[in-house]
Copies of this chain bind each other. A is one copy, B any other.
Amino acid sequence: MGKTSTRAALVFSFDQGDRSMADLLGGKGANLAEMSRLGLPVPPGFTITTEACREFLASGEWPQGLTGEMAAHVHSLEQAIGRTLGDGADPLLVSVRSGARFSMPGMMETVLNIGLNDVSVEGLAQQSGDERFAWDSYRRLLAMFGKTVLDIEGTEFEHKLDDAKTAAGVATDIELPSSALKTLVNEFKTIIKDHSGNDFPQDPQEQLTQAVRAVFASWNTDRARLYRRQEHIAEDLGTAVNVQAMVFGNVGEDSGTGVAFTRDPGSGDPGVYGDYLPKAQGEDVVAGIRNAFPLEELNRLNPPAYKELMQIMTQLEQHYRDLCDIEFTVERGKLWMLQTRVGKRTAGAAFRIATQLVDEGLINTDEALLRVTGAQLAQLMFPRFVAGSEHELLATGTNASPGAAVGHVVFTSEAAVEAAAKGERVILVRRETNPDDLAGMVAAAGILTSRGGKTSHAAVVARGMGKTAVCGAESLRIDGRAKTLTSRSGVVVAEGDLLSIDGTSGEVFLGEVPVEPSAIVQYFEEGLEIALKGVDQDTTELIHAVDRLMRHADERRRMGVRTNADTGPDAARARRMGAQGIGLLRTEHMFLGERRQLVEDLILTETQDERDAVLAALLPMQRVDFIDILEAMDGLPVTIRLIDPPLHEFLPDRTELAVQVAVARERGEDVSDDERILRAVNRLHEENPMLGLRGVRLGLVLPGLFAMQVRAIAEAACERKKNGGDPRAEIMIPLVGSVKELQLARAEAERVMAEVIDAAGCGLQFPIGTMIELPRAALTADQIAEYADFFSFGTNDLTQTTWGFSRDDVEASFFSPYFAKGIFAVSPFESLDVEGVGAMVRMAVEKGRATHPDLHCGVCGEHGGDPASIHFFDQVGLDYVSCSPFRVPVARLEAGRSTVSSGTSSSDSR
C-alpha cells in the first residue's frame, strides 16, 4: 500500500513530544514528554501513538511499519541506558502502559518488567545483587502478561501465590524466599501453557509486541466502553502506549515509591501533599499491603531526593499553572518521575485553588473562571452531612444523584407511598428499580440500590427528579422478602431503621447523620457578610473564592440570567440568587389548590354566561398573584405565560372516577353528580394530552380565558404603577405552531390591554411574545417573528416533539436501556440535544432575526440551568437563559465561562 512512506511517525520518543500533543500521544505520554523537555529525571522511553491504535482497531491488523519504528526506538533506548532488552548479563527491562487522551483510571492495561526471561532473570539477579528481587520481578511479569495479554483469570495466579505463602508459612508476598518464587515462576509458566496453549514467549521483542497489542485491544473491552459512555468520551479516540525503561522502588532500602499533589486536592489548602512508601513498587501501594507514610518520610530517609522532589513540584506547578499530581520512584537513592498531570480536585478545592493561582500571579481571573464549573458550584450548593459527625459507613456505591438524604428504610414502593402519606421521610431500598417503583421513588427522600450504575433506571429517574440516590452499592445484601439489608460487615438493617445516604459521595451511613445547609447557598441568599459569620477558615476562604469568581462571571457574561418562578416568595428568592427577572411564570400553577374547583366549573359550564361568571371570579385572584410577583421583581422583566396545560388536568382521574361511579352504582347509591362529571371527563379525554387542546389552542377555543388573564396582568401592572412600582410584565403565548395563532391571540391581548391601560391612564406597554416549543414554530420562525416581540424557547416541549417522546412516558421505560446501548450519552431532557433540538433552536433564532433583527430571545426550558446547554445558548446568540431559582448561580457562572471561553466580550444583557 506504500502508506508508510507518506504518513507521520507512529512512535515518538519522550524527547520528541510535548504536552500539546495529547491527542496523538495520550495524556500520560504527552506529559512524560513535557517532563523530559523540562529536563526532569524521567526514565527514557517512547510512546506509540493513538493513530497506530486507531489503525489497528479499524483494520484488526498490526499497523504497517510499526514493528520497524518500535525496533529503532528500542535500540535508541538500549543505547541510552547501556543495557539490552533480554540481555543475559545486564538486561534492559521496560514497562508497557496505556495512556489515552482522557484519563480512564483502572480501565486500561499495564505490563511491567518486560524483557525478563529464563536467562535474563539470572542476569538481573547478578546485576542487582538481589536474587529475590529478580525472581519476584519475573513472577510479576508472568502474572501480568498472563492476565493482560493472554486473558487468563487473575485468580489462577493468585491462588498459586496463596498456596506458596501457605507452604512457606508466611503472611505476605515480600516474605517469600527466592526458592519459593522460583517454584512460583514455574507454576505460572504452566498456567500460561495450559490456558493459552503456548509457552510464555522468551523473546523480549515478542513480549513487547504482544503487550502493545493487548493495550490496543483493551480500548474495546466492555468496561472501557461503559466507562466512556458514562464519561461522555468519544469511542473512536483510541489509546496511546508508553514503553519506558523500568526503575525499581523495591530494590534495596534506599528505594521507594510515592504519589504527591502540589496542593491538597481535597480542601484546596496550599502546600504539597502526598504519600511515600519505602521499598515498594507502585502496585504495592494500590494493594494496600502496608500503610504509606506522609511525604515527609522521604525527607527523613533521603533529604536530597526530597529536596529535588520539592523543587520539581514547584517547577511543575509553575509550568502547568495548576495543581499537579505526580507519581515518582526512588531507585537506590535516585529520584525518577514516572507521571504527572493536572490533578483532579473536589468542587471546593477547585474554587479555592483557582483564586489562589490568581493571587500567586500564575493565571488571570478569566483563566480562573475556566478552572471551575457550574457542576462544581451546584455540588457546593447541596445540603451535606455535617463534617466530623460520628457515623458508621455501611457501604459505598455509585454517586448517582447528589444531595444528602436521611429516612426510615422501606423496601417497597407501596410502603414508601404509605409512609410518605403519613409525613414520614423514607429511604426506598431496592435491589434495582423498575417503572413500577416510580410512585415510591416520588414519595421517598432518597433511593438506594445494590445494582446498577449511573445509567441504571434508579439513577436516571432520580436525577430527573432531583432526588438523592446511591446506586449499585454492591456490598449490600438486600432481602426484599425478609425486608432486611445486610452490610458486608454483617450489620443488619430492618424496615423502619434509619439510614443516611450521600448522593454526592456515594456513601451509605447507618442511622441519622445530621444534615447542614450549604454555606454557599447561605452566601447567595444572605450575602457575603452573614455567610462568613461563625464558619471555619476553609469555608471562609471557599466563600471568598466563590464570591470573587461569581462577580467576575457577572462582569464577563453576555447573556442575562432569569428565573422560572410562579410565586412572590420564589421570585424574591431567585432575585437574591442573582436572577435578572422572570423568564417563565407558569400561570396554570396559580389554578391549583382551592381554585381548582373554579377551573372545574369553567370546564363543566355549558353557556358562555356561566363561563364568564367563573372567569370573573378568577380575575381578582389572578390580579393579586401578579401584583405579588411584579412587586418581588420590581424593575425587572416578568414573562408571564398564559395558561398552557390541557383542561382535563384540572378534572378528576378518568379511571378512578369510572371505578367510583361503577362501584357506587353497584351499591345502589346515587351517582348522578359523579356521572355528570364523568361524562365531561370522557368528553374531554384525550389519548395524547401532550398533543391535544392546550396552550394557544385552548386560548383560541375557550372564549374569554386568555382575555381574563391579560386583563389581570394589565390591571396588576397598573396597580403597581399607581403605587410607585416599576412593573415590567411581558405576555407570552404558548404552543404557537402557526403565525396565524399568534396574530389572533396577540390581537385579543392588545385589545384587552389597551382597554385596561386607557381606563387606568397608566401609560404602560407590555411586549407580547411567544414560546418556541414546536418544530413548526422553529421552521416558520421568520413569519412568527413578525408578530412577536420576543421568543422564549421551551426546550422541554421542543425536545419532546423533536424526538417524538414524552418525558413522563419514556424516561422510566426506555432511557435506561438506551444509555446502556449508547444511544444516549446523557438524557436530552437534562442536557440539550445539540444535533437535533439545538439545530431547531439555531434555525429559529436565525430565521426570527432575519425578519425581526432586534428580536429578544431566551430559553425557559430546564436546559436553561444546564452548563453544557448554556454554552450552546450563548453560541447561538440567545439574550438570556431562565432556570429554577436554585440553578441561577450555576447559570450566571456558566454564562460567564462561556463568554470567556468563546473569546467574546461582555455586552448588554437585558
Residues of A that sit less than 8 Å from B by CB: 435-436, 654-655, 658-659, 662-663, 666-667, 683, 686-693, 697, 700-701, 735, 737-738, 740-741, 744, 773-776, 779-780, 783, 797, 800-806, 808-810, 813-814, 817-818, 821-823, 833, 835-837, 839-840
Beta-carbon contact of B817 and A803 below 8 Å: no
Give bound CA distance, A783 to B833, whole Å: 15
Give bound CA distance, A833 to B808, whole Å: 29
A688-B690, A692-B810, A775-B801 known; 16 new pairs, CB 8 Å cut-off, are A654-B655, A662-B662, A686-B806, A687-B808, A688-B691, A690-B804, A691-B691, A692-B806, A693-B810, A693-B813, A737-B804, A744-B821, A776-B804, A779-B835, A783-B835, A801-B804
Contacts of A835 in B (CB 8 A): 779-780, 783
Contacts of A808 in B (CB 8 A): 686-688
Chain B residue with the shortest CB-CB distance to A434: B683
Contacts of A701 in B (CB 8 A): 813-814, 817
Chain A interface, >50% SS class: helix
Beta-carbon contact of A779 and B823 below 8 Å: no
Give bound CA distance, A687 to B688, whole Å: 7
Beta-carbon contact of B809 and A737 below 8 Å: no
Beta-carbon contact of A809 and B693 below 8 Å: yes
Beta-carbon contact of B740 and A823 below 8 Å: yes
Give bound CA distance, A797 to B802, whole Å: 11
Contacts of A689 in B (CB 8 A): 687-688, 809
Give bound CA distance, A780 to B805, whole Å: 17
Contacts of A776 in B (CB 8 A): 802-804, 833, 836-837
Nearest Cβ distance between residue A261 and chain B, in whole angstroms?
39
Chain B residue with the shortest CB-CB distance to A806: B691
Give bound CA distance, A686 to B775, whole Å: 23
Beta-carbon contact of B803 and A688 below 8 Å: no
Chain B residue with the shortest CB-CB distance to A835: B780
Beta-carbon contact of B821 and A697 below 8 Å: no
Contacting residue for A804 out of B435, B735, B837, CB 8 A: B735
Beta-carbon contact of B692 and A813 below 8 Å: yes
Beta-carbon contact of B667 and A779 below 8 Å: no
Beta-carbon contact of B690 and A744 below 8 Å: no
Nearest Cβ distance between residue A410 and chain B, in whole angstroms?
20
Contacting residue for A662 out of B663, B774, B797, CB 8 A: B663
Contacts of A688 in B (CB 8 A): 687-691, 806, 808-809
List, sorted by A's number, 23 A–B pairs whose CB atoms are closer than 8 Å.
A658-B659, A662-B662, A686-B808, A686-B809, A687-B688, A690-B804, A691-B804, A691-B805, A692-B805, A697-B805, A697-B810, A700-B814, A700-B823, A735-B804, A744-B821, A744-B823, A774-B802, A775-B802, A775-B804, A775-B840, A776-B836, A779-B840, A780-B835
Nearest Cβ distance between residue A225 and chain B, in whole angstroms?
13
Contacts of A663 in B (CB 8 A): 662-663, 666
Beta-carbon contact of B687 and A809 below 8 Å: yes
Contacts of A692 in B (CB 8 A): 805-806, 809-810, 813
Contacts of A658 in B (CB 8 A): 655, 658-659
Contacts of A693 in B (CB 8 A): 809-810, 813-814
Give bound CA distance, A804 to B686, whole Å: 14
Give bound CA distance, A515 to B866, whole Å: 65
Give bound CA distance, A720 to B452, whole Å: 47
Chain B residue with the shortest CB-CB distance to A659: B662
Give bound CA distance, A861 to B635, whole Å: 51
Contacts of A662 in B (CB 8 A): 659, 662-663
Beta-carbon contact of A687 and B801 below 8 Å: no
Beta-carbon contact of A802 and B801 below 8 Å: yes
Contacting residue for A814 out of B697, B802, B806, B839, CB 8 A: B697
Nearest Cβ distance between residue A543 and chain B, in whole angstroms?
43
Give bound CA distance, A809 to B691, whole Å: 7
Nearest Cβ distance between residue A144 and chain B, in whole angstroms?
35
Known: A690-B688, A692-B806, A693-B809. A738 touches B823 (CB 8 A): yes
Give bound CA distance, A667 to B668, whole Å: 12
Chain B residue with the shortest CB-CB distance to A693: B813
Contacting residue for A836 out of B700, B737, B800, B818, CB 8 A: B737
Beta-carbon contact of B659 and A779 below 8 Å: no
Beta-carbon contact of B436 and A806 below 8 Å: no
Give bound CA distance, A208 to B775, whole Å: 51
Chain B residue with the shortest CB-CB distance to A662: B659
Which one of A662, A693, A804 has the greatest number of beta carbons of chain B within 10 Å? Answer: A804
Q: Please name the 8 residue pairs, one residue from A and one from B, whose CB atoms are nearest each other, closest first.
A: A691-B806, A776-B836, A775-B775, A692-B809, A774-B804, A688-B806, A686-B809, A688-B688
Beta-carbon contact of A821 and B700 below 8 Å: yes
Beta-carbon contact of B737 and A803 below 8 Å: yes
Contacts of A800 in B (CB 8 A): 691
Nearest Cβ distance between residue A504 and chain B, in whole angstroms?
31
Nearest Cβ distance between residue A686 and chain B, in whole angstroms?
4
Known: A802-B779, A823-B738. A810 touches B691 (CB 8 A): yes
Chain B residue with the shortest CB-CB distance to A735: B804
Give bound CA distance, A823 to B800, whole Å: 24
Give bound CA distance, A691 to B813, whole Å: 12
Contacts of A836 in B (CB 8 A): 737-738, 775-776, 779-780
